[in-house]
Amino acid sequence: MKLFKMVSSISVITLIALLYVHQQVELVKLSYAIEYKEKSLKDILDRRDMLGYNIDNLEAPSRLERVLISRNIDMAFPRKGNVVKIAKYEPKNAARRHAGAVSSGNRTYLAGLFDFMGLRSEAQANEK
């Protein structure tokens, strides 16, 4: 009986120690994962800033002008005779949008009426 009690107590202590070590190992794994993700986030943000700078630099008019000059490309604005204006095209959905605007106007009118009756009267009542 005494042997069984001692073996069971040693096994319980060993099990508790194993669970504690397992938790500590998982914490270390988690900290490494967090550090890795923070590093990758910093790298991604740095790359984003670098790409944004490159886009701004590539779209800069002064840079485009220098490239055109270096390649001996002459840019000329078109004459008025070469410019063609197209009449405004209104898609079929525009009629539906206009109908929606009228109904939203009615809602605005009703909302204004409720606003006038409700909130302003409460504000005036609080002032007195």
Which tops the pLDDT comparison, 66 or 121? 66
C-alpha dist (Å) from residue 111 to 72, 74, 78, 95, 117: 62, 59, 51, 24, 10
- The parent domain of residue 119 ranges over 93-128
Q: Is residue 121 part of a domain?
A: yes
In a domain, 102, yes or no: yes
pTM of whole model > 0.75? Answer: no
The number of distinct structural domains making up the chain is 1
Which of 86, 55, 61 shows the shortest CA–CA distance to 75? 61
Query: Would you say residue 41 lies in a domain?
Result: no
Residue 118 lies in a domain: yes
Q: CA-CA distance, 47 to 55, in Å (whole number)?
A: 12
25 found inside a domain: no
Judge whether residue 86 has pLDDT over 60.
yes
Mean local confidence (pLDDT), 75-101: 69
